[in-house]
Copies of this chain bind each other. A is one copy, B any other.
Amino acid sequence: MTLPRQHSERHAEKLVRREKIESKNFKNIIRDMGMKVTDQRLLILEALTAGRAHVTAQEVFEVVVEKDASIGFATVYRFLRKLTESGFVNEVRMGGLAARYEMSSQVHHDHLTCTHCGKICEFENHDIEKLQESVAKQFGYQLTGHVLELYGLCRDCQKKST
């Protein structure tokens, strides 16, 4: 079973990762994961930090293949999985659709998605996070992660649909 976003994790670790990502010290990110530095991996990290957030594996591939026409699909999937496992990237899933990825450089947040046009807003609500902890505690669970996705119609799509 895939673990979503780690929650109870030490804050310090997060900060170190964030710094590495923001300084674009990609080589060290890769070495941190105990992996070898390759051009493919550097390109994937570049694509993830440069382009917009919430991209699919397919989209990452399309960006990377421009720079290295011979890169394989499997390499992208493989590395995205590793990045997710190490917490440098987080995986966002909505409905049964393809997973989307974003660098974890930013602070934790959840998503509010327009069901009509797909526009995504990021938000962070401390009260909700707190309440989640308390729910888990009530049931004797040790909370390790959560998925909170809100769905609705954005302002533009509300207008159009009337």
| A interface residues, Cβ below 8 angstroms from B | 1-4, 93-97, 99, 112, 114-116, 118, 121, 123, 125, 127-128, 131-132, 135-136, 138-155, 158
A interface majority secondary structure: mixed
Report the copy number of this chain in the oligomer: 2
Contact A112 B136 (CB under 8 A): yes
Across the interface, A93 reaches (CB within 8 A) one of B95, B114, B123, B151, namely B95
Contact B143 A4 (CB under 8 A): no
Given the complex of chains A and B, what is the CA–CA distance between A151 and B143 in angstroms? 6
Contact B144 A132 (CB under 8 A): no
Across the interface, A1 reaches (CB within 8 A) one of B97, B128, B131, namely B97
